[in-house]
């Protein structure tokens, strides 16, 4: 057994991995994607894509990481000596750092809202929320300050290590996230007219069953599990050899689906009950949700809960992104985790400043017609992650012998061969479609 630091328990690993996957994609992006694409049909397609396309790649990352017991680069070097597969690890580290650089900007926005909610400073005028959001993202001092505070929170957790930092934080934040969600769901479902939101989520409108909705659901399912940047590979490297990676991966996928559905159950019944439209796009969490909660009894309290759980979900994702950078930087050199976390976090903070300023003083700077923030988002989500996931699927599906993958997955023959067929044929084709479509949409 490797002397490498490990998760103290299987549940600690699952909560940490689920926390990485359950971020803004599940709570912020999923509701507005479902809202814009017919609700129930999008949700059904999303669940199917999770199990048949994203989950096989997640299992592959768990397999590579747990087998390697090292950082992403070293794992590939030792498992494929003399071959360039280790470049997947380098790409994962770079993409994770870039994702965290702009992800921390959104984390800063959440801190801005949470601070105002705690101080009861949010406007009483529903129509002012759009102006408030624009004011926050355009204020250079507030944008950079809150981005820095969010990075600081991430550093403080990662520097404490796997057991004392990441696992401990995940064991606190993930159950709290579920608890807060249940409270908000109960409140939302008790509103007059909430049934319309349930119909929107669970009664199919087959007019939306088309190529566009399938493709969008495929993209959401792929990105929501954090595959493609070796984050899950890195977490699995801290997992003991006796753990069932297939079962752990299924638990992570199911938890992600549950949180996504809970996010919908918080938002859509309240949106319909209070006369708003569900197709509000990315502003749903920052513009519409505050306006919705404001109209509820004890709305200020429920709004605080909402932004706390949004913060928890964002932090559990951000620590996984910093961890892959720290893990690779430490390597076998026995470098100080504390020093490495602070240096890595500070560099990522500096890289993220242009994204933080891209809606205000640097809004005139564009890259391929996109703001700096959107350009980094596009580079990571539409190019880097699909490429990484594609080669991870090829490595696990073709480079590994069936003897190795059977041994690592350790499941029944029918389930093993189902996974093998999906990782060799279905997932790579789906990833290629996402990649090509993303490029054409640029």
Question: What 8-state DSSP symbol labels residue 371?
Answer: E
In which band, very low, low, confident or very high, does the pLDDT at 125 lie, cut at 50, 70 and 90? low
pLDDT in tens, 383-417: 898 999 999 999 999 999 999 999 999 999 999 99
Residues β-bridged to residue 367: 370
Say if residue 1's pLDDT is above 60: no
Write down the mean pLDDT value for the chain.
89
pLDDT of the residue at 100: 96
CA dihedral 287, 352, 436, 21 (to 10 degrees): -70
- Give per-residue pLDDT as tens, 414-438: 999 999 999 999 999 999 988 898 7
CATH superfamily of 10-441: Amino acid/polyamine transporter I (1.20.1740.10)
Q: Which of 150-159, 262-271, 307-316 has the highest mean pLDDT?
A: 150-159
Non-local CB neighbours of 413 within 8 Å, separated by 6+ positions: none
* Best CA proximity match to 198, nearest among 269, 259, 267: 269
Say if CB 356 and CB 111 are below 8 A apart. no
Cα separation, 122 vs 442, in Å, equals: 36
Q: What are 94-119's pLDDT values in tens digits?
A: 999 999 999 999 999 999 999 998 98
Scan for tokens 């709570």, then name that residue: 27
- Reported as a single tens digit per residue, the pLDDT across 376-385 is 988 988 889 8
Helix (H) or strand (E) holding 366: strand 366-367
The CA distances from residue 151 to 81, 408, 431, in Å, are 35, 35, 30
* Residue 340 pLDDT class (50, 70, 90 cuts): very high
User: What are 2's two structure tokens?
Assistant: 């490797």
The answer to whether 230 and 89 have CB atoms below 8 angstroms apart is: yes
* 30 within 8 A of 224, measured Cβ to Cβ: yes
Looking at residue 219, its pLDDT comes to 82
pLDDT at 133 (0 to 100): 87
Domain ranges of the chain: 10-441
pTM of the predicted structure, to 2 decimals: 0.91
């Amino acid at each position: 057994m490797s002397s490498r630091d490990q998760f103290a328990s299987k549940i600690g690993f699952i909560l940490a991995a689920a926390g990485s996957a359950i971020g803004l994609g599940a709570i912020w992006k999923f509701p507005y994607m479902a809202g814009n694409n017919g609700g129930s049909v999008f949700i059904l397609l999303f669940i199917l894509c999770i199990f048949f396309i994203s989950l096989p790649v997640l299992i592959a990352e768990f397999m590579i990481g747990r087998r390697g017991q090292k950082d992403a680069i070293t794992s590939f070097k030792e498992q494929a000596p003399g071959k360039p597969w280790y470049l997947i690890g380098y790409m994962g580290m770079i993409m994770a750092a870039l994702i965290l650089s702009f992800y921390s900007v959104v984390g800063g926005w959440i801190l801005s809202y949470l601070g105002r909610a705690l101080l009861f400073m949010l406007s009483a005028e529903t129509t002012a929320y759009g102006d408030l959001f624009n004011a926050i993202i355009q204020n250079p001092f507030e944008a950079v300050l809150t981005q820095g505070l969010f990075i600081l929170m991430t550093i403080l957790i990662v520097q404490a290590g796997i057991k004392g930092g990441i696992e401990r934080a995940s064991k606190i934040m993930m159950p709290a996230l579920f608890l807060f969600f249940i409270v908000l769901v109960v409140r939302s479902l008790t509103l007059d007219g909430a049934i319309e939101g349930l119909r929107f989520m669970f009664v199919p409108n087959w007019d939306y069953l088309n190529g566009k909705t399938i493709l969008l659901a495929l993209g959401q399912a792929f990105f929501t599990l954090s595959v493609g940047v070796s984050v899950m590979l890195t977490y699995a490297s801290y997992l003991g050899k006796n753990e069932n990676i297939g079962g752990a991966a299924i638990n992570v996928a199911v938890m992600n689906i549950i949180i996504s559905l809970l996010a919908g159950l918080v938002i859509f019944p309240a949106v319909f009950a209070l006369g708003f439209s569900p197709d509000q796009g990315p502003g749903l969490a920052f513009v519409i949700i505050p306006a919705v909660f404001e109209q509820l009894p004890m709305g200020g309290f429920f709004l605080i809960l909402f932004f706390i759980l949004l913060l928890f979900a964002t932090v559990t994702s951000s620590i996984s992104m910093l961890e892959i950078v720290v893990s690779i930087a430490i390597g076998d050199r026995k470098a100080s985790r504390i020093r490495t976390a602070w240096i890595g976090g500070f560099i990522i903070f500096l890289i993220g400043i242009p994204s933080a300023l891209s809606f205000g003083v640097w809004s005139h700077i564009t890259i391929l017609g996109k703001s700096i923030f959107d350009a980094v988002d596009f580079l990571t989500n539409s190019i880097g992650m699909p490429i990484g996931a594609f080669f991870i699927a090829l490595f696990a599906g073709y480079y590994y012998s069936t003897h190795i993958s059977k041994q690592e997955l350790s499941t029944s023959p029918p389930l093993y061969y189902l996974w093998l067929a999906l990782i060799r044929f279905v997932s790579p084709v789906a990833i290629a479609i996402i990649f090509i479509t993303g490029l054409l949409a640029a």
